[in-house]
Chain A
């Protein structure tokens, strides 16, 4: 993979965001992200195919058939294969996987993988309806008004009960603090303008309140409502040569896995992200490495509790010890395993269909030294990065292991 590009993640938190003013549509984001990639490879004619990951443009924007927007990126993409893929919030990850499949099947050498979502078209209460499409519709009636926060609130509630409320909240608080501090290092992050001098204090003050929101989470535990797109090139070795891009400016896909569980069933264990666990194990096995060799992880923290549970699912901490691991600072940028180094879904933003691609772009930036202010000083003996992109309540998961080129 190479030539990653992110648009700004637009929404509350950005100074320039004004919900009352008209904003760019989904075509603008597709075009900007695509052009940002093309600029780096120099010539769009070398792109064989375009894949666009998107979750719910059909409802957020009343627009389907996104493959037809590829030519907005560049005239050279006209009359070439282009399609969109959907797997809820893992749509971006599926875009990457789909691009990889084209390359592996040798039907393409260079694929433009994009992800996009424009969500600020409706109020949050209606956005909740739209996003609930990532679950089983038959459960919608009995679900919470804020359906997905409700699902993860239930998980958090069990976690509190099992391991202790304060213990859990401490870990979740640190997850939130890291997200904000990391986001401040990326000018494209939605919370980049966050100047709150007392993040931990703000978190403590805002107790979960079931009457106003969900029972076990507050809004600081949640990812952002975002408009944004990301793009990256997935290429074969030959493709990379065709583009004339040095291996040092690319990352190698060392292993990957895509696992999907039955959407009509409840999670087997509310305090385990079982599908993430399986996908990560498979991807690491395919890469022939263990988690200890990974230098940085981008994980799908749609809620702070999902961050903690991912830490456990990845084997970084034992079951129930995720809160402790995070509270001790291990996932901060200077910790043992820097995670979500530009803020993740809570800090950088969560343009749902774009998130999987955004994660790949972040890892590419970190492993190739393109991460700007957010750049980590990565150890030479751990040349790997890992992304975990999740759709729905641990239903569709894409795990990818990247190696420095």
Chain B
């Protein structure tokens, strides 16, 4: 089966979800582009968008239309060539309309799982729950005569477990997009010992067509991205709990968040990142990963406590941030949650005091937005962190410790055999988490 033939019958499971909708969008566009090639004229292409939620599927089609329209508007120059022989399509308006139509007509939104029984390729993006994934994939595979290839978007479940439990012998690999898939360049690719090499090659070709950066990760729970993030989160949480010995927890959370964002020049502080991903999702991923970890405990009572209080973070369907550890107003952090008082404490009441305790940033500080654009990262970050190491400031000392720990996590991912090399770890953090510099560096030595 050729690349084009493989993409003639595709199903996305969990298509209305945050990840599923992005995967669906990218796949629909890729399939449409293939279907429009002269040699594929007259062939049928079907993309089943499967989800349990009717409401979600209705919203999905709105999302798809809007996104495909944007994509079409960006590549109109190429589309005019693609439709050169269509004499009825003259203006950009006509061309763009036709393309949107040509993409959307491939997509069949449905709640019926049975539609995946004809698929050659299945993208799985359902809830991060191994039992559920296995159950669905097994059912599909048993009823599908095509022996479909399965690309799972799991960010934490070991692929070989899905493979063996769903009976997918050699026909499943991890193709882990970052959120949101339509924007983020990174894909973690995870194969098992028995993965069909042809499927691996297809995955690379498909990633290339989508202009994704592929980082291979070995099949160890959490892979590279969550392998770093979850440990980094545990460190940040523990750091805050330690600081809370001398001050209320909200102040400690504020300080650690600020150290991890401003002092370490990251796009978000660690507590904001946990909120962004969702406290419940973070808790869940840790739960999935923890049984596979040796000599460490990826678990946080504080996360459990927050979930018990129904403070979960995550995002609204509009993309706006829900309140979690931090409270957000128009994109700005305005307060920090206090689990003992079960209330948000306004930043105004304590941020001045905390900022003073943390002390100044080094003079050569550049905010993340500027620093991320610097081509020669060492030229900025070596002197920046040198200055930080020489500082007696409380915040500077916390940041150096934090940076050292992040570096150690990165190195451990290689020594544990999750990543093949330090460069892969850094690529994941640079492209998947938008860090301005890779965690494995010599800045904090």
> Contact at B77–A141, with CB atoms within 8 Å?
no
Q: Contact: A125 with B91, CB < 8 Å?
A: no
Is the CB–CB distance between A141 and B90 below 8 Å?
Answer: yes
Interface size bracket, B side:
10 to 19
A327 at the interface (CB under 8 A from B): no
- Size of the A side of the interface (Cβ < 8 Å), in residues, is 16
The contact string, 1 if C-beta is below 8 Å from chain A, for chain B 81-108, is: 0000001001111011000000000000
Task: Type the 1/0 row for A125-161, where 1 means its CB is closer than 8 Å to any CB of B.
Answer: 1101100100001001100111000000000000000
Interface residues of B: mostly helix, strand, loop or mixed? helix
- A297: min CB distance to chain B, Å: 34
Chain B residues with a Cβ under 8 A of chain A: 73, 76-80, 87, 90-93, 95-96
Contact with B along A99-128 (1 / 0, CB 8 A): 000000000000000000000000101101
Encode A209-245 as 1/0 by CB contact (under 8 A) with B: 0111100000000000000000000000000000000
In the complex, 10 of the A-B residue pairs with CB atoms within 8 angstroms, ordered by the A residue number, are A125-B92, A125-B96, A126-B92, A128-B92, A129-B91, A140-B90, A144-B77, A145-B92, A145-B95, A213-B77
Are A140 and B96 in touch, CB under 8 angstroms? no
Contact B77 A129 (CB under 8 A): no
Partner of B76, one of A125, A132, A137, A210: A125
**Pairs of residues from A and B, 3 with the lowest C-beta to C-beta distance, nearest first:** A129-B91, A145-B76, A145-B77
Q: Is the CB of B90 within 8 A of A126?
A: no
A residues less than 8 Å from B91 (CB atoms): 129, 132, 140
Cα(A146)–Cα(B80), bound, Å: 11
Evaluate whether A145 and B90 lie within 8 angstroms (CB atoms) in the complex, with A123-B73, A125-B73, A125-B96 already known: no
Q: Which residues from chain B contact A210 at a C-beta distance below 8 Å?
A: 77
User: Of A125, A128, A132, A141, which contacts B87 at CB under 8 A?
Assistant: A141
Complex Cα gap A211–B78 (Å): 8
Which chain A residue has the least Cβ–Cβ distance from B77?
A145
Indicate if the CB atoms of A129 and B92 lie closer than 8 Å. yes
Contact B93 A126 (CB under 8 A): yes
Which residue of the partner chain B has the closest CB to A146?
A: B77
Among candidates A123, A140, A211, residue contacting B77 with C-beta atoms closer than 8 Å: A211
Instruction: Note all chain B residues with C-beta closer than 8 A to A137.
Output: 90
A212 to B73, CA, bound (A): 12
Contacts of A141 in B (CB 8 A): 87, 90
B73: which A residues are within 8 A, CB to CB? 123, 125
B contact residues around A212 at 8 Å (CB): 77
Give every chain B residue within 8 A of A128 (Cβ-Cβ).
92
Chain A residue with Cβ nearest B95: A145
> Chain A residues near B93 (CB, 8 Å)?
126, 129
Residue of B76, B80, B91, B92 with most chain A CB atoms under a 10 A cut-off? B92
